[in-house]
C-alpha cells in the first residue's frame, strides 16, 4: 500500500497520501491543495505526538509540506476555515440553503477518491522494474532491427534504436518495452508476444536503464511513426552525466525513431509503457500533471476500454507483492532513479532477464 497519514478534524478521520516518501528523511510530504480542500481549511496546523500545542504546517512553492510525516501516523488538525465561495446572484433557494452545494462537494470527494484508487492501482500493477534487458532475446532483436550484413553475432558495433547511433556491440542490449513484470492481459488481448520484436528492441545499456525507470518513453504518433520523449530533463541538463553516458539526450528528446528493416515495435506496447512513464513523471514532478497526453493507437485497437476493463477488474483484486517476479506476476511499486539504490523486479525466465543492476549516471 502507498504511504498514508490520517488527519482528524473534529474527530472525523481523513486519509492522505504522502508524496516523495523516504523513511530515512523522516517520511513523506502532504500535498497542499488536496489536503486543504479536503479538510475545508485555509491554513493547516497539526498536533504532533507528545506535543501539547498545534504546530503550523508550511508548504513550499511546489505545494508540498516542508515537514515530513511518517507512514501510518495519526494527527489532530486545526486551522483557519476556508471561505465559502460567494453566492451567485439569482441562485436557487436550494443552493442558498446549502443542500445542492453539499451534494456537489460530496460527489467531488467521491470522484477524487476513485481517481486516487485507480491511479494507485495502475502504479502498483505496472511497477517500475530494475531492468528488463535479456540475453535470451538479444540475438533475435538484433537480427530483426539490423540489416542482414550487420546482424551477425560477431558484429563489432550495433545500433541503438533510441539514439540511432552505433556503439560497441557489448554495450547494446535487448530491452523490453512492455515490462516482463507487468500484467499479461493487455498484450494477450492484442495477440502480441512480449518476447518478440514487437516488444523487444536493441538499446544502449544506459538508455535502457533510463527507459525502464520511466525517464523517457516512446510515443506512438501515427502508423509507423514513433517519437521519443525525455521526461526527466535532468538527463539533458546534467552535462557531466551525459558525457559519461555517451548520449546526447537533447538530440534524443522529440526525435523520431528510424527503422532500417521492416521490424517495428508495437504502438500499443509503446503506448502502455508511455502511460506508466507519464504517471511516474508526474509523481516525480518531472512534468506538470496533465501536460502530456499519450495518443491512443487505434490502428492497433489499443483503446481506453481495454485499459478500463483491466483497471476495473484490478479494483476487486489488488496486486499482490512478491519476492519472485516471473512473467505475469504483479509486483509492488518501488522507487526508481537513485544511483546505487536497491532494485528488484523485472522478471526471470530460464536465463537471467534482469542482469543489468548498474546504477544511473544521472
Q: What is the pLDDT of residues 242-259, one digit of tens each?
A: 777 789 999 999 999 999
Return the C-alpha cell found at 201.
Answer: 528492441
Q: Within a domain: residue 295?
A: yes
Report the pLDDT value the prediction gives residue 261, as an integer from 0 to 100.
93
Q: Within a domain: residue 355?
A: no
Report the pLDDT value the prediction gives residue 327, as an integer from 0 to 100.
36
Residues 48 and 154 in one domain: no
Domain boundary among the residues 29, 45, 62 is at: 62
d(CA 202, CA 230): 18
Residues 9 and 157 in one domain: no
- Assign 61 a pLDDT band (cuts: 50, 70, 90): confident
Structural domain of residue 261, as residue ranges?
Answer: 137-316
Report the pLDDT value the prediction gives residue 198, as an integer from 0 to 100.
94
Residues 148 and 41 in one domain: no
State mean pLDDT over 293-304: 73
Q: Within a domain: residue 247?
A: yes
Q: Within a domain: residue 342?
A: no
Residues 292 and 166 in one domain: yes
Residues 170 and 265 in one domain: yes
- Assign 331 a pLDDT band (cuts: 50, 70, 90): very low
d(CA 90, CA 144): 68
Report the pLDDT value the prediction gives residue 17, as an integer from 0 to 100.
83
Contact (Cβ atoms closer than 8 angstroms) between residue 18 and residue 29: yes
Report the pLDDT value the prediction gives residue 37, as an integer from 0 to 100.
87
Q: Within a domain: residue 292?
A: yes
Torsion angle of the four alpha carbons 105, 111, 112, 115, in this order, in degrees rounded to the nearest 10:
-170
Contact (Cβ atoms closer than 8 angstroms) between residue 219 and residue 226: yes
| Tally of domains in the chain | 2
* pLDDT tens-digit series, residues 302-320: 444 555 555 454 444 444 3
Given CA atoms 351, 354, 359, 360 in this order, what sign does their dihedral have? Answer: positive
In the block, cell 523487444 appears at 200
Report whether pLDDT(229) > 90.
yes
Report whether pLDDT(281) > 90.
yes
Q: Within a domain: residue 282?
A: yes
Contact (Cβ atoms closer than 8 angstroms) between residue 44 and residue 9: no
In the block, cell 526527466 appears at 232
Contact (Cβ atoms closer than 8 angstroms) between residue 229 and residue 292: yes
Helical residues (DSSP H) of the chain, grouped into ranges: 32-39, 93-96, 99-125, 138-145, 185-189, 205-212, 234-237, 239-245, 249-252, 267-283, 304-316
d(CA 54, CA 99): 32
Residues 10 and 159 in one domain: no
* pLDDT tens-digit series, residues 155-194: 688 999 999 999 998 899 999 999 888 888 888 888 899 8
Q: Which residues are CB-neighbours of 70 under 8 A, at least 6 positions away? A: 5, 23, 26, 27
Q: Residue 175 burial (CB < 10 Å; 0-12/13-18/19+)?
A: buried
Of 61-70, 198-207, 236-245, give the lowest mean pLDDT range.
Answer: 236-245
Residues 149 and 280 in one domain: yes
d(CA 278, CA 212): 13
Report the pLDDT value the prediction gives residue 62, as an integer from 0 to 100.
81
Report whether pLDDT(117) > 50.
yes
Residues 210 and 294 in one domain: yes
- Assign 129 a pLDDT band (cuts: 50, 70, 90): low
Of 111-115, 119-123, 247-251, 324-328, give the lowest mean pLDDT range.
Answer: 324-328
Residues 212 and 298 in one domain: yes
Residues 42 and 168 in one domain: no
State mean pLDDT over 229-234: 95
* pLDDT tens-digit series, residues 141-159: 888 998 876 655 456 889 9
Q: Within a domain: residue 166?
A: yes
Helices 99-125 and 32-39 meet at what angle, rounded to 10?
Answer: 140
Helical residues (DSSP H) of 150-204, grouped into ranges: 185-189
In the block, cell 516512446 appears at 218
For the chain, give the mean pLDDT.
Answer: 76
d(CA 213, CA 19): 18
- Assign 196 a pLDDT band (cuts: 50, 70, 90): very high
Considering only CA atoms, give the Rg of the chain: 24
Question: Which DSSP letter does residue 85 get?
Answer: P
Amino acid at each position: 500500500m502507498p504511504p498514508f497519514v490520517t488527519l482528524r478534524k473534529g474527530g472525523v478521520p481523513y486519509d492522505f497520501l504522502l508524496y516523495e516518501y523516504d523513511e530515512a528523511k523522516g517520511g513523506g510530504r502532504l500535498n497542499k491543495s488536496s489536503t486543504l480542500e479536503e479538510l475545508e481549511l485555509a491554513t493547516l496546523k497539526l498536533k504532533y505526538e507528545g506535543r501539547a500545542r498545534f504546530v503550523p504546517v508550511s508548504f513550499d512553492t511546489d505545494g508540498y509540506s516542508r515537514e515530513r510525516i511518517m507512514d501510518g501516523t495519526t494527527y489532530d488538525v486545526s486551522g483557519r476555515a476556508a471561505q465559502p465561495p460567494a453566492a451567485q446572484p439569482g441562485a436557487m433557494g436550494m443552493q442558498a440553503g446549502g443542500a445542492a452545494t453539499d451534494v456537489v462537494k460530496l460527489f467531488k470527494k467521491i470522484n477524487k477518491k476513485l481517481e486516487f484508487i485507480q491511479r494507485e492501482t495502475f502504479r502498483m500493477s505496472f511497477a517500475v522494474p530494475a531492468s528488463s534487458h535479456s540475453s535470451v532475446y538479444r540475438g533475435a532483436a538484433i537480427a530483426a532491427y539490423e540489416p542482414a550484413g550487420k546482424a551477425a553475432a560477431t558484429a563489432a558495433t550495433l545500433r541503438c534504436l533510441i539514439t540511432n547511433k552505433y556503439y560497441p556491440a557489448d554495450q547494446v542490449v535487448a530491452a523490453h518495452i512492455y515490462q516482463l513484470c507487468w500484467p499479461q492481459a493487455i498484450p494477450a488481448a492484442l495477440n502480441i508476444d512480449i518476447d518478440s520484436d514487437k516488444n523487444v528492441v536493441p538499446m544502449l545499456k544506459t538508455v535502457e536503464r533510463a527507459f525502464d525507470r520511466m525517464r523517457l518513453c516512446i510515443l506512438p504518433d501515427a502508423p509507423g511513426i514513433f517519437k521519443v520523449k525525455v521526461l526527466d530533463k535532468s538527463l539533458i541538463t546534467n552535462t557531466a552525466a551525459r558525457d559519461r553516458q555517451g548520449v546526447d539526450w537533447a538530440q534524443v528528446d522529440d526525435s523520431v525513431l528510424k527503422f532500417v528493416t521492416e521490424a517495428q515495435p508495437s504502438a500499443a506496447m509503446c503506448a502502455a509503457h508511455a502511460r506508466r512513464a507519464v504517471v511516474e513523471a508526474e509523481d516525480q514532478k518531472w512534468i506538470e500533471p496533465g501536460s502530456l497526453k499519450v495518443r491512443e493507437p487505434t490502428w492497433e485497437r489499443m483503446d481506453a476500454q481495454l485499459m478500463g476493463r483491466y483497471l476495473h477488474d484490478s479494483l476487486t483484486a489488488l496486486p499482490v507483492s512478491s519476492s519472485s517476479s516471473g512473467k505475469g506476476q504483479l509486483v509492488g511499486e518501488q522507487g526508481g532513479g537513485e544511483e546505487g539504490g536497491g532494485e528488484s523486479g523485472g522478471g526471470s525466465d530460464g536465463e537471467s532477464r534482469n542482469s543489468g543492476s548498474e546504477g544511473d549516471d544521472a
